[in-house]
Structure 1
């Protein structure tokens, strides 16, 4: 069995550390020119990397960087995003979705989603997979009330969503039964 010289191990360890250090921490400049959907995707990608907090309100995707810098990317005038974490056994109370911190129970789980508007018209009918944080994100028209039905693993839940100014962006109350 051959032995690796200590100097080589230290050099390789230094290179691995240097590679990790060269990965740039997220900055507000990386959000310049992004749409709200792109900013939300970036927030999900960063998921608290570099100490960045990210959350979504009924008006904007918000970022708080270490050192106090903040950046807001406005949501489209006619749409709002609502993050939903369906659950079976455990949930958490939440009203504002923090991409950098909220964690749902059902990770990478296919969920059949049906959304109907107040008139009963189906506006969304598709199967989506929850993300690594256990949430699915729905972009819906503003100033509406919707009925959402979710089906996963042979269980179903139904609830109401609102896209008014000031509406919740995090829904964690839909228990699959």
Structure 2
């Protein structure tokens, strides 16, 4: 029996025909709105900035003090970082990088996307504060939440290559580190 005949028969028999579900928008396709930031913790706000990357003309970035959102039309909202921590975004690379000091979740793009990277972070006293493997985000960055007013030694390993460098979490410090070349 041809498909159309079966559908007509089922419809006349009172059998409900399945209708296709309406297309659901992914979070990145939703229009960002300042009200969606209400009540978010700094970590949740950073996740929202990454989720909204490139959506609706939104610009988002992180300073040593806050996660900042600039919405189309000029509205700006900030979510303060914790008093004792700040976030530093690292983009390890092999072939290409970009100069940067302030991490723009809405625009910065690292070379190594969705790649596992081993991270070892030690403070000035040599104490290990982080030792784990993380996967770079779709923008090629690793986001580290570190205690403030410290200087750290960072070692990254991926694909049989390694890079190391220093970073600081003092007021006004860089939030975007793009100088860690894996060799």
Aligned to 1:10: none
Aligned length: 161
Q: Matches of 1:29 and 1:89 in 2, distance apart?
A: 40
Q: Which residue of 1 aligns with 2:88?
A: 82
Q: CA deviation at 1:48?
A: 2.2
Structure 2 Cα separation of the partners of residues 24 and 69 of structure 1: 17
Which residue number corresponds to residue 173 of structure 2?
167
TM-score, length of structure 1 as denominator length:
0.87
* SS of residue paired to 2:95: coil
Q: Which runs of 5+ in 1 are unaligned?
A: 1-15
1:24–1:109: structure 2 CA closer, same or farther, 3 Å change rule? closer
| Correspondence 1:1-177 to 2 at 5 A | 24-177=30-183
Per the normalisation by structure 2, the TM-score is 0.85
Contact 2:30 2:55 in 1 (8 A): no
CA distance in 2, matches of 1:37, 1:161: 20
CA–CA separation in structure 2 for the residues paired with 1:88 and 1:36: 31
Contact 1:48–1:54 under 8 Å retained in 2: no
SS in 1 for 2:50: helix
Larger radius of gyration: 2
- In the TM superposition, structure 1's runs of 4+ consecutive aligned residues that sit over 4 Å from their partners are none
1:24 CA drift (Å): 4.2
Q: Which residue number in structure 1 is paired with residue 3 of structure 2?
A: none
What does residue 8 of structure 1 align with?
Answer: none
Listed one character per residue, the Cα deviations across residues 53-112 of structure 1 (whole Å, up to 9, x for unaligned) are: 000000000000000000000000000000000000000000000000000000001000
Contact 2:151 2:167 in 1 (8 A): yes
Whole-angstrom distance in 1 between the partners of 2:61 and 2:30: 21
Partners of 1:57 and 1:133 lie apart in 2 by: 18
Given that 2:116 and 2:135 are in contact with CA atoms closer than 8 Å, whether structure 1 keeps it comes out as yes
